[in-house]
């Protein structure tokens, strides 16, 4: 393995560094994007239960905001629960954009590694081929087997670039898909919370209307 790295020459150094960075990003994203960290189980039902019981004091909402990305989205909805629905949805969408940016952290870097890996590998191969042909120009063709070995060594960089880029691309697409799935589920939970808050508001309005009517009837009587 060390001989292959030496054969690739100096372009192998940035390729190996890219491989280390890509591995670190993949491990970090796997840890950060765990489902229970982004969408804690039963959190949506718990928040709707808070709303039904009227337990929406600032301490509850702030605790919810720090809980998880889903909690932050639901807290944004609760912050504007007394405003019209379109304004609440606008706040949810704005908060959602910030959360998506946070969940996609380092994914642009991973995509860059996937794109740059083959190019660096090709650069290393081209540099190796140039050095080999300059050697032929100075000393002649010499042994054909040696020439074939030189070409093989030059191609080591291309192979390494592919080895770095292919997993990086696969994980980049995978994490993007995971974030998209999380966003859809978070939107569903936020919509369910809005429906719950609206239903509670309708019930409260009907109760007030009934009370007002009863009061008016008693006064008239």
pLDDT exceeds 70 at position 202: no
CA distance 37 to 213: 49
Task: Check residue 104 and report its DSSP letter.
Answer: T
- Indicate the burial class of 126 (C-beta count within 10 angstroms; 0-12, 13-18, 19 or more): middle
pLDDT at 35: 92
CA distance 14 to 12: 6
Closest CA to 49 of 10, 29, 78: 78
pLDDT range class, residue 143, cuts 50, 70, 90? low
pLDDT at 110: 95
Residue scoring higher pLDDT (27 or 121): 27
Residue found under tokens 């990003």: 25
Q: Over range 103-107, report the average pLDDT.
A: 93
pLDDT exceeds 70 at position 213: no
Structural domain count, the chain = 1
CA distance 38 to 189: 13
Highest mean pLDDT among 18-32, 38-52, 54-68, 84-98: 18-32
For residues 190 and 92, is the Cβ–Cβ distance under 8 A? Answer: yes
CA distance 190 to 79: 12
- pTM score of the predicted model: 0.80
Residue found under tokens 């372009």: 11
Highest mean pLDDT among 1-5, 26-30, 57-61, 118-122: 26-30
Question: Torsions phi, psi of 13, nearest 5?
Answer: -65, -55
Task: Give the mean pLDDT of the chain.
Answer: 82
H helices present in 9-143, as ranges: 12-32, 35-38, 43-53, 58-65, 69-79, 85-103, 107-139
What is the separation of C-alpha 71 from the centre of its chain, rounded to a whole number of angstroms? 17
Q: Tell me the residue range of the domain where 41 lies.
A: 2-220
CB atoms closer than 10 angstroms to residue 6 = 11
CA distance 141 to 119: 29
- Indicate the burial class of 8 (C-beta count within 10 angstroms; 0-12, 13-18, 19 or more): buried
Closest CA to 118 of 18, 23, 29: 18
């Amino acid at each position: 393995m060390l001989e292959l790295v030496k054969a690739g020459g100096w372009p192998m150094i940035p390729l190996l560094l890219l491989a280390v960075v890509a591995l670190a990003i993949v491990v970090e994203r796997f840890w950060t994007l765990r489902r229970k960290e982004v969408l804690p189980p039963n959190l949506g039902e718990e928040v709707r239960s808070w709303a039904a019981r009227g337990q929406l004091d600032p301490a509850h909402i702030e605790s919810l905001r720090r809980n998880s990305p889903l909690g932050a989205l639901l807290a944004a909805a609760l912050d504007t629960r007394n405003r019209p629905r379109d304004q609440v949805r606008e706040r949810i969408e704005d908060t959602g954009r910030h959360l998506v940016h946070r969940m996609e952290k380092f994914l642009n870097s991973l995509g860059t590694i996937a794109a740059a890996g083959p190019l660096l590998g090709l650069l290393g191969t081209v540099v190796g081929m140039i050095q080999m042909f300059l050697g032929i120009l100075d000393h002649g063709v010499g042994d054909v087997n040696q020439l074939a070995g030189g070409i093989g060594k030059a191609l080591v960089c291309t192979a390494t670039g592919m080895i770095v880029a292919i997993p990086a691309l696969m994980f980049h697409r995978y994490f993007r898909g995971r974030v998209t799935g999380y966003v859809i589920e978070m939107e569903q939970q936020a919509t369910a919370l809005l429906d719950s808050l609206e239903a509670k508001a309708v019930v409260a309005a009907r109760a007030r209307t009934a009370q007002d009517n009863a009061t008016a009837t008693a006064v008239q009587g």
